[in-house]
Amino acid sequence: MEQREATILFADLRGFSSIVATHPPEVVFGELNRCFVRLCEISAHHGGTVDKFIGDAIMVVFWADARRPGDEARRAVHCALDMQIAMHHDNRTRDDPARPRLYLGIGINSGRVISGVLGSHVYSARTVLGEHVNLAARIEAFCLRGQILLSETTCRHCEGFIDAGEPVEVSVKGHERAVAVRELHAIPSEGKRVPRQERRGSPRAPVRFPFTYQTLANDVVSKVRAGGTVIDIGYRGVNVELDHELQLLEEFKLELELPLTGYRVADLYGRVVSTHRADGAHRFGVEFTSMSRETGRNIRKLVHLLIQGTAGE
């Protein structure tokens, strides 16, 4: 067992549960294996060590070298960007329309970790653990699809190397104080930018109908329900109006009746991606993070009806 400085990268597939539920096992396994093979190749190219697969996630370790301070963080960030570029390219160039699109969320943190072999003669594996490993995993959990979030420590190691957003504070399990994270935008010296996936890929239709929601904390849905109003809707998100504030990146479960379709949504999750005040009310941009195929179909149907002006037909 030893303690070493390292940068930890967690990459997790977004919405994979719905793919498992809607595709044959051989398709699910084949796509997951194809994805992991590509991510392992990219990790090796940047000098990363794949620590483990965790369901539909991968953990990669980049070890520090005292002769090149911060190099491990820069390699990890470059690796993450290349992962997102590869996923984006694969989604755009699929030769089989039946293949599902895959999207990653990637979280990165740097710090001192414990490295060693766990287990016995029955089963053993070398791994790393510690608070900085846990924080990397927590940061990844806040990612939207196609997004890369970095801890402040990792950003300091990459100063002058990356273009990142302003710090956003998030509440992390195990930390009394909020943790600041930054979104990676680009590595200018490499001429590479993150091909973000939450840009609107559909029209927005103005609406006004009520909904209820329950916030999430550590993947647990609160028992407390609150209400709000949807003021516009697209295929992948909504703008909503609430009586009180939610935090950026906060996730919640939505329940609502879709007008014109007669469909009740009870399996929709979203995350706050923007916030502002208007006419004395709190307004939030929300990106959907998980929904069933049937819910997605009915949302598209509603948007189509609204943008074509067929509400009265």
> What is the DSSP secondary-structure string of 28-47?
HHHHHHHHHHHHHHHHHHTT
Banded model confidence at residue 113, pLDDT cuts 50, 70, 90: very high
Whole-prediction pTM:
0.70
pLDDT in tens, 183-209: 999 999 999 999 976 554 456 789 999
Place of tokens 């930890």: 8
Q: What average pLDDT does this structure show over 121-129?
A: 91
CB-based contacts of 36, cutoff 8 Å, min separation 6: 53, 58
Reported residue count of the chain is 313
Half-sphere exposure at residue 175, Cβ-oriented, CA atoms within 13 angstroms: 16
Q: Which residues pair with 261 in a beta bridge?
A: none
pLDDT in tens, 34-73: 999 999 999 999 999 999 999 999 999 999 999 999 999 9
Give pLDDT, residue 9: 98
Long-range own/partner contacts, residues 272-277 (CB < 8 A, 24 or more apart) = 272/246, 272/247, 272/248, 273/144, 273/198, 273/237, 273/248, 273/249, 274/248, 275/245, 275/246, 275/248
Tokens at 138, concatenated: 């927590």
Compute the distance between CA of residue 170 and CA of residue 181 in angstroms, rounded to an integer.
7
Give pLDDT, residue 269: 95
CB contact at 8 A, 144 and 190: no
Compute the distance between CA of residue 234 and CA of residue 222 in angstroms, rounded to an integer.
26
pLDDT in tens, 231-259: 999 888 999 999 888 889 899 999 999 99
Give pLDDT, residue 308: 63
Place of tokens 């030769």: 95
Compute the distance between CA of residue 159 and CA of residue 136 in angstroms, rounded to an integer.
19
Compute the distance between CA of residue 226 and CA of residue 243 in angstroms, rounded to an integer.
9
Tokens at 306, concatenated: 């609204």
Q: Is 102 left (phi over 0), alpha (psi -120 to 50) or beta?
A: beta
CB contact at 8 A, 288 and 237: yes
Angle between helix 71-92 and helix 25-45 axes, rounded to 10 deg: 140
The fold adopted by the segment(s) 2-193 is: Alpha-Beta Plaits (3.30.70)
Domain boundaries, the chain: 2-193, 205-307
Give pLDDT, residue 129: 94
Give pLDDT, residue 300: 83
CA 256 to chain centroid:
24
Among 162, 188, 13, 19, smallest CA distance to 87 is for 13
Write the DSSP symbol of residue 252.
E
**Average pLDDT value for the chain:** 90
Compute the distance between CA of residue 28 and CA of residue 19 in angstroms, rounded to an integer.
7
DSSP 153-172: HHHHHTTTT-EE---EEE--
Burial (0-12, 13-18, 19+ Cβ within 10 Å), 106: buried
Give pLDDT, residue 114: 95
Pairing of strands 147-151, 103-119: parallel
**CATH fit for domain 205-307, picks 2.40.10.220, 2.40.30.10, 3.90.700.10, 2.70.98.60:** 2.40.10.220
pLDDT in tens, 138-188: 899 878 789 999 999 999 999 999 999 999 887 676 677 878 999 999 999
